[in-house]
Structure 1
Amino acid sequence: MRLCFAKPFVVDRPWRKPGDVIDKDKACPQVIGTVPISATNNTYTATWAVTKSTPKATWYAQVFVECKNGTATGFCQYDTSVNQTYVGTQIIESTPVSMKVAVALCSAIAPVFLAAFFIKEQVLKKKA
């Protein structure tokens, strides 16, 4: 199963160009898992966790079935007649406020230490 960008997130973005080869399809970059399919069961469910690297977008799941016809093995998109169900992802800000304050404080103090170091070096050079 792959997670694919919805049409509005692919238009005018050549780096998300759909491809005919499954592994080179840039519109479906996220591999979300594999599910064994039984020929006797007509309903299939899959659960997956959205990873941190998944950007904010509207997605749909694309299911591929390994088709064995004779000696060749290929992949077929599974049931294209079903309406695509879209999934939205939101970016959750998980950086604590204390971390942001610490980074801002270090960023503000760093130039002062750098300037003090260069001044000290210049004074020591003149004494030597």
Structure 2
Amino acid sequence: MAAACGFLLVASVLLISSLAETCYGVTFSSLNRTLLLTASPTPGQVLKAGEDQITVAWSYNKTFPSGTDSTYKTVVVKLCYAPISQLDRAWRKTQDNLEKDKTCQFKITSKPYSPSNNSFTWAIEKEIPTATYFIRAYAINSRHVEAAYGQTTDAHKATNLFQVQAISGRHASLDIASVCFSAFSILSLFGFFYMEKRRAKLAQQK
């Protein structure tokens, strides 16, 4: 009887926890940093959207007890705004409730969870805006909610940051054509004045 009551109590706690996650969302502050995450950009490096690539590697942090990762099913890796690129931008605001958090808006990859030997090379998409970034990975459990995380920066999001430079929208061929057209216009203008001056001189001689 006592064992049955204990089982019901545990089941009730798990059910309440699951309902709370569903209703209120998971908070970032409740997650353990059980994933070790590294990325190829060096601190301060400037990468170009649509041209450069980022290689990300991740694994389970074995300093945590064995079995801590038993509920992990998927790892989602994201590109995230650093605080300096969130200032006065409400649409990038960090919030503890991950359903409302706007820090990590760009998905890099999603992979089945494995405790080691994970890596992915991502071609930076053309749509990525100019900003300062870091990378974060979330471990997703069987209820499809965040269960843990890892990131390439410290808790204050101040170290190992890098920049992405967005595409300007201009192309070299267009710039060359613009320069050629400008030069042609200037030459045409000089030619027009020369012809007018010559005509005036001929008219005076007559």
Query: TM over 0.5, yes or no?
Result: yes
Write out aligned runs for 1:88-103 (5 A).
88-93=163-168, 95-100=170-175, 101=177
Bigger relative contact order, structure 1 or 2 (CA pairs below 8 A, ≥6 apart): 2
State how far apart, in whole Å, the 2-side matches of 1:73 and 1:59 are: 26
Name the SS of the counterpart of 2:112 in structure 1: coil
State how far apart, in whole Å, the 2-side matches of 1:26 and 1:56 are: 16
> Aligned residues: percent identity?
27
Long gaps (5+) in structure 2: 1-76, 182-206
1:21 to 92, 98, 101: 98
Q: What is the deviation of 1:98?
A: 3.9
Q: Are the equivalent residues in 1 in contact too, given 2:130–2:165 (CA < 8 A)?
A: yes
Larger strand fraction of residues:
2
State how far apart, in whole Å, the 1-side matches of 2:134 and 2:151 are: 12
Q: What is the deviation of 1:82?
A: 6.6
TM-score normalized by structure 1?
0.59
> Which residue in 1 is equivalent to 2:107?
31
Q: What is the deviation of 1:49?
A: 1.2
RMSD of Structure 2 on Structure 1 (CA): 2.9
**Count of aligned positions:** 97
> Which residue in 2 is equivalent to 1:63?
137
Q: What is the deviation of 1:77?
A: 3.6
Name the SS of the counterpart of 1:18 in structure 2: coil
TM-score normalized by structure 2?
0.39
Q: Rg larger in 1 or in 2? A: 2
Deviations 1:84-128 (A, max 9, x none): 6423212344633443546xx7xxxxxxxxxxxxxxxxxxxxxxx
Long gaps (5+) in structure 1: 106-128
